[in-house]
Amino acid sequence: MKISTKGRYALRMLLDIAEHESEGYVSLKEVAARQGISKNYLEQIIMLLKNADILKTARGFQGGYKLSKSPNNYNMSEILRLTESDLAPVPCLANGQNGCERSGSCMTLDVWDGLNKVITEYLSGITLQDILDKHQDCDVGDFYCI
């Protein structure tokens, strides 16, 4: 399993919006500038997040984006599933289905299934708020927080 640029950028964008939500709606231009990501690329990701009701939008002079719910209501697994479609470590477990013709006799299937469960549990246990809190607790020069 490898997380794509789209998945990483979606997390960075959502964290940026959450971090600045006290300022009201956050413009995509501001997020792009702070994160060093192309605004055009973020626009593609925005569509996924809007369609999944993760973001609220407002048009106009003070328009932009805001999380639909609190940052503690979004976990990494749900966000990455939007951008990656699946987080399975092997194709035979993709989308919760095992379509492999060898699944009945595969000696390694339990290993991959166990890894899939660990990945899912781990990512499901980390919310946007957890990441924000950890970042706030770090000192700028703290080696372990980098």
User: pLDDT tens digit string along 123-139?
Assistant: 999 999 999 999 887 65
pTM recorded for the entire structure: 0.85
User: pLDDT tens digit string along 44-100?
Assistant: 999 999 999 999 999 988 889 999 999 999 999 999 999 997 888 888 888 766 667
d(CA 1, CA 91): 9
Domain positions in the chain are 5-145
Cβ distance 62 to 24 under 8 Å? Answer: yes
Cβ distance 92 to 103 under 8 Å? Answer: yes
CATH number of this structure's domain 5-145, picked from the four choices 3.40.630.30, 1.10.287.1770, 1.10.10.60, 1.10.10.10? 1.10.10.10
